[in-house]
Amino acid sequence: MKNLINETAEIILNSKLTLALTGAGVSVESGIPDFRSAGGLWAKYNPAEYATISAFTERPEKVWEMLRDMDKVVSGARPNKAHIGMGELEKMGLLHHIITQNVDNLHQDGGSKNVIEYHGNASTLSCLWCKKGYKSEDKRKEHPPKCQCGKILKPDVIFFGEAISAQAMERSFQLAGSAEALMVVGTSAVVSPANTIPSIAKQNGAKIIEINKERTSLTGSVTDIFLKGSAGEIISELVDRIKDMRNAGYGTSL
């Protein structure tokens, strides 16, 4: 593993454009179960009944039964070592953008500013009718939270049946086509359109660094370096190694 960490550190230090693609595995260490896991939301709530945009527009009070459970978990979560480490890499000028499938705002809480969110962000709410927006924390005592116009508010996350932001997709595809390194962290990247990012980057010459607890469909196909284990531990070790190499003068002339 030490040799792989060293190799990864060299790739990142030499890369002029490095991206990260992240998924639920990054936030599991913050206490947020993957929705599809045994302890996730879909084990308790049928997504066809609770997570579609038509379900929300037709029965928002019912959908908010699930959303309250989601909010309890997400609002209590704090960034872990993976979020903080990626925030540090951004401040060092070595991680330029994060493309995330998560809605928990933990990348931003961990210090990252350049975050492209595929599935939205649960920290804000909007009215589908008058378009007024609110912070989730300001409406947490209302069950369900309502707009001043009287309508029930929707969290700014993508429900099944809603389109992912065209701007987010276009920007991520553009970046993937120019990236020299891509870190795939805490995701098997099988859900569209995130699953296209690694192949786009690979086709354009990027090195693919995969950090997951288990092998995925990417591992034997596009991955160049597979770092198996906890995202928090591996990214912390990687950040420390990069700092040591920088302090030793590696890459200062690049």
Closest CA to 37 of 27, 50, 48: 27
Closest CA to 144 of 129, 154, 156, 159: 154
Beta-carbon contacts of residue 113 (< 8 Å; ≥ 6 apart): 90
CA distance 234 to 62: 40
Annotated catalytic residue 107: no
Q: How many CA atoms lie within 13 A of 132 on its CB side?
A: 11
Strand partners, 115: 98
Catalytic residue among 83, 96, 119, 143, which? 119
CB 211 within 8 A of CB 20: no
Structure-token pair, residue 233: 């531990």
Cα dihedral 204, 210, 216, 220 sign: positive
Greatest Cα pair distance, the chain, in angstroms, is 61
Structure-token pair, residue 134: 């609110």
DSSP states of 105-144: -HHHHTT---EEESSEEEEEEE-TTT--EEEGGGGTTSSS
Which amino acids are annotated catalytic? 119
